[in-house]
Amino acid sequence: MTDNLTDLTIHVAHELLKAKKISSVELTKQYLARIKVVDAQVRAIVNVTEDFALQQAKKADEIIAAGKSVPLTGVPFLLKDNMSTKGIKTTCSSKMLENFIPPYDATVVEKLNSVGAVMVGKANMDEYAMGSSTENSAFFTTHNPWDLSRVPGGSSGGSAAGVAAGEAVFALGSDTGGSIRQPAGFCNVTGFKPTYGRVSRYGLVAFASSLDQIGPLTKDALDAALVMNVISGHDTADSTSATEPVPDYTKGLAKDLKGMKIGIPKEYFVEGMQPEVDAAIKAAIKQLEELGAKVDWGVSLPQTPHALAVYYIIAPSEASANLARYDGSKYGFSYLNTDNMWEGMEKTKQLGFGPEVKRRIMLGNYALSSGYYDAYYLKAQKVRTLIRREFDAAFEKYDALVTPTSPTVPFKIGERADNPVQMYLSDVCTLPINIAGIPGISIPAGFAQGLPIGMQIIGKPFAEDTLLKISYAYQQVTDWHKRRPAV
């Protein structure tokens, strides 16, 4: 039953730990050993936190012995390296923060610590979460465990690849325009971006504050519900976190979808989409119909094509403001050891940030500058409202919308690296969801030439339970999510 201990879900790991078939220390050692073997190829992790993990595991075993364990207690996980960990480097995969050791934990980290979850490492990412392939990491590129010559997606590529390769049971990622869902789709795991404000952002290194949201990457929908139960909720340290009560997300999971109304917005089946992706998603939707959902195949959300432009004005604008703090005078990389302070600050940014981050700062400063503000930033905010209203109207008729997560399967490393616009297009299906602040999940829904295909399910604000219910029902009748790469 327990031959493959590095292929566990949270719910199975919990049963084994609770029944004392294995201790958290033993389990953690198994994962650390697995990391040593596979991470030489996959490169999902920037910092393996071995000593910390073993300490945490010991504490978890005490919680279990005291009969106080909950499903995440003693379970190994990876944390995207843009979430603060007290006393442990938090690099954002940037030279700017390469040696930054935060004096505090992010709220999600505090919450995971409080139930005795075991962090085995900090996961690689695109620098400051800007990217769709993890190629923008200042340190190294993560490889897709399904085909090492391909990208794992991004920006939470390390989190997704790590879970897919069995380096941890689950991971946390962050999603500003698709960074949890797109890599989840590329690596064949379940990736959940909750409603904006559902999970506290305190201690998450800011990229675009009105879009950023933390969420889980797991092996199935039940595990996503279990992580959501721990990390969700209001936080006085994040004034944008929601006061909406947190339900038990495992409660609504059911085997059928009777009475559920699902819409299929045609604009998400974009031109240039890979035919195998189109076919797989349509087959998956038919399966939702068989589970009892009523599907409307003819939904139209005509604002959708504007989402990409809106995102690439708003996200860089917010980023340019958020990243102004990295001037070498407070923390992180500094080049202030010259006579001229201004020159020192300039040099700090020049040497500390990679090319994509600089591109975003320039785009943002341009869109916010006087003379262009009205034409770009203000216009984008207005279209943002239209996009949100269009979703509001759709959710008066449908419980959920279903789309592909990405128009293609994972692409080759290097294929889009020199073409920012082509890279930006990887997220056409996921960006609108952040713009509207609504929840979205990506679940495994098929393969083409041995490469994973993700299906995205979108819901109205705080309908996390609906998305988990659909995902769970689908995973009861399919086994895509159980497939593992041969790495």
Given 24, 137, 155, 241, which residue is catalytic?
155
Q: How far is the CB of 424 from ligand GLN (least distance, A)?
A: 7
Q: Which stretch binds ligand GLN (CB under 6 A): 50-58, 98-106, 123-131, 242-250?
A: 123-131
Chosen residue from 123, 130, 457, 470 binding ligand GLN by CB under 6 A: 130
Q: Which is nearer to ligand GLN, 8 or 151 (CB)?
A: 151
Long-range contacts of 252-256 (CB under 8 A, 24+ apart): 252/465, 252/466, 252/468, 252/469, 253/221, 253/222, 253/225, 253/468, 253/469, 253/472, 253/473, 254/469, 254/472, 254/473, 255/291, 255/473, 255/476, 256/291, 256/292, 256/473
Q: Which is nearer to ligand GLN, 259 or 272 (CB)?
A: 272
Measure the CA–CA gap between 261 and 224, rounded to whole angstroms.
22
Measure the CA–CA gap between 392 and 390, rounded to whole angstroms.
5
- The site string for ligand GLN over 188-217 (x = CB under 6 A, - otherwise) reads -------------------x----------
Which 136-165 residues touch ligand GLN, going by CB under 6 A?
A: 155
Given 80, 111, 193, 347, which residue is catalytic?
80
- Helical (H) or strand (E) element with 404: strand 400-404
Confirm or reject binding of residue 88 to ligand GLN (CB under 6 A): no
Q: How far is the CB of 176 from ligand GLN (least distance, A)?
A: 3
Q: Which stretch binds ligand GLN (CB under 6 A): 111-119, 128-136, 137-145, 456-464?
A: 128-136
User: Phi first, then psi: what are they for 199, rounded to 5°?
Assistant: -120, 135
Q: How far is the CB of 310 from ligand GLN (least distance, A)?
A: 12
Q: Which is nearer to ligand GLN, 31 or 268 (CB)?
A: 268
Q: Which stretch binds ligand GLN (CB under 6 A): 176-184, 253-261, 297-305, 336-344?
A: 176-184
Chosen residue from 81, 175, 318, 399 binding ligand GLN by CB under 6 A: 175
Report the DSSP beta bridge partners of residue 215: 173
- The site string for ligand GLN over 422-461 (x = CB under 6 A, - otherwise) reads -----x----------------------------------
Q: Which stretch binds ligand GLN (CB under 6 A): 125-133, 261-269, 447-455, 479-487?
A: 125-133
Confirm or reject binding of residue 179 to ligand GLN (CB under 6 A): yes
Q: How far is the CB of 317 from ligand GLN (least distance, A)?
A: 12
Q: Which stretch binds ligand GLN (CB under 6 A): 21-29, 173-181, 272-280, 340-348?
A: 173-181
Confirm or reject binding of residue 318 to ligand GLN (CB under 6 A): no
Question: At 161, is the secondary structure helix, strand, or coil?
Answer: helix
Measure the CA–CA gap between 456 and 479, rounded to whole angstroms.
17
Question: At 171, is the secondary structure helix, strand, or coil?
Answer: strand
Q: Which stretch binds ligand GLN (CB under 6 A): 25-33, 174-182, 233-241, 269-277?
A: 174-182
- Closest of 200, 403, 400 to residue 282, by C-alpha: 403
Kindly list the distances between the CA atom of residue 427 and the CA atoms of 133, 309, 407, 424, 443, in Å, as whole numbers in the listed order.
11, 12, 9, 6, 16
Q: How far is the CB of 193 from ligand GLN (least distance, A)?
A: 8
> Catalytic site residue 155?
yes
Q: Which residues neighbour 364 within 8 Å (Cβ) at sequence distance 6 or greater?
A: 316, 317, 318, 319, 320, 321
Contact 6, 30 (CB under 8 A): yes
Confirm or reject binding of residue 132 to ligand GLN (CB under 6 A): yes
Confirm or reject binding of residue 361 to ligand GLN (CB under 6 A): no
> Catalytic site residue 86?
no
Q: How far is the CB of 416 from ligand GLN (least distance, A)?
A: 11
CA within 13 Å, CB half, 35: 29
Chosen residue from 71, 76, 102, 131 binding ligand GLN by CB under 6 A: 131
Measure the CA–CA gap between 217 and 283, rounded to whole angstroms.
24
**How many residues of this chain bind ligand GLN (CB under 6 A)?**
13
**Rg from Cα positions in the chain:** 21
Which 364-393 residues touch ligand GLN, going by CB under 6 A?
A: none
Determine whether 180 is exposed, middle or buried from the number of CB atoms within 10 Å of its CB (0-12, 13-18, 19+). buried
Measure the CA–CA gap between 127 and 179, rounded to whole angstroms.
12
Contact 176, 211 (CB under 8 A): yes
Confirm or reject binding of residue 129 to ligand GLN (CB under 6 A): yes
Q: Tokens 């490889």 belong to which residue?
A: 143
Contact 78, 123 (CB under 8 A): yes
Q: Which is nearer to ligand GLN, 131 or 197 (CB)?
A: 131
Confirm or reject binding of residue 403 to ligand GLN (CB under 6 A): no
Chosen residue from 76, 177, 183, 185 binding ligand GLN by CB under 6 A: 177
188: left (phi over 0), alpha (psi -120 to 50) or beta: left
Contact 277, 408 (CB under 8 A): yes
- How many other CB atoms sit within 10 Å of the CB of residue 486? 6
Given 179, 317, 406, 442, which residue is catalytic?
179
Q: Which is nearer to ligand GLN, 71 or 215 (CB)?
A: 215
Q: Evaluate the omega torsion of the peptide bond into residue 155 and state whether it is cis, within 30 degrees of 0.
A: yes
| Residues acting as catalytic residues | 80, 155, 179
Question: Which positions touch ligand GLN (CB under 6 A)?
Answer: 129-132, 155, 175-179, 207, 315, 427
